[in-house]
Amino acid sequence: MKCRIDGRGAVFVIIGVLSLLLFSAVGGAMTPQYGGVLNVADQLMVPSMDPHHFNGIDGLGLWLPYNTLINYNQQLEFVPELAASWEIVDNTTYIFSLRDDVKFHDGTPFDAEAVKWNFARMASEYSQVAPYFSMIESVDVMDEYTVQFKLSEPYAPFLDNLVASGQMVSPTAVETMGNDAFQKNPIGTGPFKMVSYDPQRRQIEFARNEDYFEEGKPYLDGIVLTEIPDPQTRLLAFKAGQFDYLLGVPPNNVDELITADYNLVSVLGSSNTIDFLTFNTQVEPFNNAKVRQAIAHAIDQELLLEFLDHTLPLLGPLPESSWGSNPNKEPYAYDPAKARALLAEAGYPQGFSTTLKIWNNDPQREDLAVVVQEMLSQVGVDVTIEVLEAGTLVQQMMQGEFEVASLHWGGGGSLDPNGNLYVLFHSASPNSFIARYHNDEVNALLDQALMMTDRAERQELYQKADKLIYDDLPMIWFGRFTSYVAYSDRVEGIEPLKPSGYYPSKVAEIWIH
């Protein structure tokens, strides 16, 4: 069976004779087969495989070796993973009962002490996920497999943060090899354990975890991720049969692959993924709201969407599907005359020059940059496009060395509006460097929303913050790139993807004919 899922959720199903023969007469489902290696053509070899310190660059390699206490199911409900169950005693107290059959890849036990150690590490100066758990006042071991979290104050997305950023690593491994070495030698509890990280061959190799706690899984013997940065080279290698799974289908080739009957699936899922131009609002001229408004009126959003294949419209920092999105936002109309007038009012009657920074090996973003460059030239804004490696761009932005950049945000792995609004726009967020935005009223609304547990009350606060941010324009939200992955007919279990998008929901259930 082959499914085609486009960015708008349309599903086309074609059932062939071969597929019918593979279904069992009784259960109507194919029986998974053991063995085989899944060869993946990847866009980027993650520089660090430490989930607590990954330099802002995510990837499939960061998910294969690890588990979290809980996860999302396809209905966006929380379900057990390393925790067998949990109890919310009150709005600041959570008790987790852990599975008693889990070991780390190095053979050491996963227990309550390991959980306590992990969250102490996540709170350390080394950690890059510390802000997501700053509300934790204490982690107490109640017995060998029971752990209690006490929060300093109510924090509504606490469970979401456990899913998005709470991967468990082996305390013994970290203490033995040190943090730096652990970044290239990850030890978790996940279905696959890393056996080699080879920068020369641009490959990361994983082998089946024979002691995985889900009985009979994983099905695969292993997974190999190979970095091929150039999109067309990656596509050609996939079509030639060198790979079973293609991450980052080039947008211009999506229709071609659908016509040729390949298996494609959108990576958006139920995520809060957005694509945008972001301003450094702390430097001239973008610290002036009138300049940002002028840029918004100088960009023809409708034409931009027509030009960019497989891009969904977006109005603000949350997609319309999010319950935190304010429905009462009006688009900034394309109006070059108004843009010029606003620039004059801001003190730039002749326009100005600026640099737009983007990351490399992203053809759709490069196309966007060229179109924006042309549109802004019509109102006197001369744009130079600078293409950088992703890690270099993020590092420069963290240091404030940018004026305008084009980025992609996946919601921080969380499905809560907090994953976009607080994480990107609260001035205390570790990711506030992306726009360097500061608004005391927005900060107060977002702080208040975190302390409430009632969805309706939180929604009201998030929708107010969403509208304020939209009006302030620290970014130009131009759309959602509908990226795709493709996979060969011999692979099963790729779908469904995680509700937060991008990666298979259950990698332990992938198998090969």
Tokens of 458: 């939180």
Tell me what the mean pLDDT of segment 74-84 comes to: 92
Average pLDDT of span 54-81: 88
Alpha helices in 75-184 (DSSP H): 112-122, 158-165, 171-177, 179-182
Model pTM score: 0.77
Are 384 and 353 within 8 A, CB to CB? yes
Of all residues in the chain, the percent with pLDDT exceeding 70 is 94
Cβ burial, residue 73 (10 Å; 0-12/13-18/19+): exposed
Percent of the chain with pLDDT over 90: 70
What confidence score (pLDDT) does residue 52 get? 95
CATH number of 70-175: 3.90.76.10
CB-count exposure of residue 384 (10 Å: 0-12, 13-18, 19+): exposed
Question: What is the per-residue pLDDT across 197-245, written as a single tens digit (0 to 9) for each?
Answer: 999 999 999 999 999 999 999 999 999 999 999 999 999 999 999 999 9
Quickly state the pLDDT bin for 29 (edges 50, 70, 90): low
Pick from 5-14, 144-153, 390-399 the range whose average pLDDT is largest. Answer: 144-153
309 — phi, psi (to 5°)? -65, 145
Domain ranges of the chain: 2-65+190-267+483-512, 70-175, 274-481
Residue with tokens 């990711």: 431
Helix (H, G, I), strand (E, B) or coil at 274: strand
**How many C-alpha atoms does 295 have within 13 Å on its Cβ side?**
28
Query: Can you give the pLDDT at residue 309?
Result: 74
Helix (H) or strand (E) holding 231, with range, is helix 231-239
pLDDT tier at 56, thresholds 50, 70, 90: low
CA distance 505 to 502: 9
Distance in angstroms (rounded) separating the CA atoms of residues 409 and 206: 27
**Rounded average pLDDT over 258-284:** 88
Architecture of domain 274-481: Roll (3.10)
Do 192 and 507 form a contact (C-beta atoms < 8 A)?
A: yes
- The alpha carbon of 137 is separated from its chain's Cα centroid by a whole number of angstroms, namely 27
Summarised one tens digit per residue, pLDDT across range 371-399 is: 999 999 999 999 999 999 988 999 999 99
Read off the pLDDT band of 14 (50, 70, 90). very low
pLDDT tens string 328-341: 999 999 999 999 99
> Are 441 and 471 spatial neighbours (Cβ–Cβ below 8 Å)?
no
Q: What mean pLDDT comes out for the span 114-131?
A: 95
Count each helix (H run) and each strand (E run) in the chain, helices first. Answer: 15, 23
SS (H, E, C) 410-462: CHHHCCCCHHHHHHHHCCCCCCHHHCCCCCHHHHHHHHHHHCCCCHHHHHHHH
Contact 234, 43 (CB under 8 A): yes
CATH architecture of the region 2-65+190-267+483-512: 3-Layer(aba) Sandwich (3.40)
Whether residue 124 has pLDDT greater than 60: yes
Average predicted confidence (pLDDT) for the chain: 90
The Cα–Cα gap between 345 and 307 comes to 31
C-alpha 15 chain-centroid distance = 32
Asked whether the beta carbons of 451 and 478 are under 8 A apart, the reply is no
**Who contacts 24 (Cβ-Cβ below 8 Å, separation ≥6)?**
30, 31
Instruction: Please state, in angstroms and rounded to a whole number, the distance separating the CA atoms of residues 296 and 335.
Output: 9
Q: Residue 165 burial by CB count (10 A; 0-12/13-18/19+): exposed, middle or buried?
A: buried
Highest mean pLDDT among 281-295, 358-372, 415-429: 281-295
Q: How far apart are CA 257 and CA 268, in angstroms?
A: 18
pLDDT of 19 over the 50 cut: no
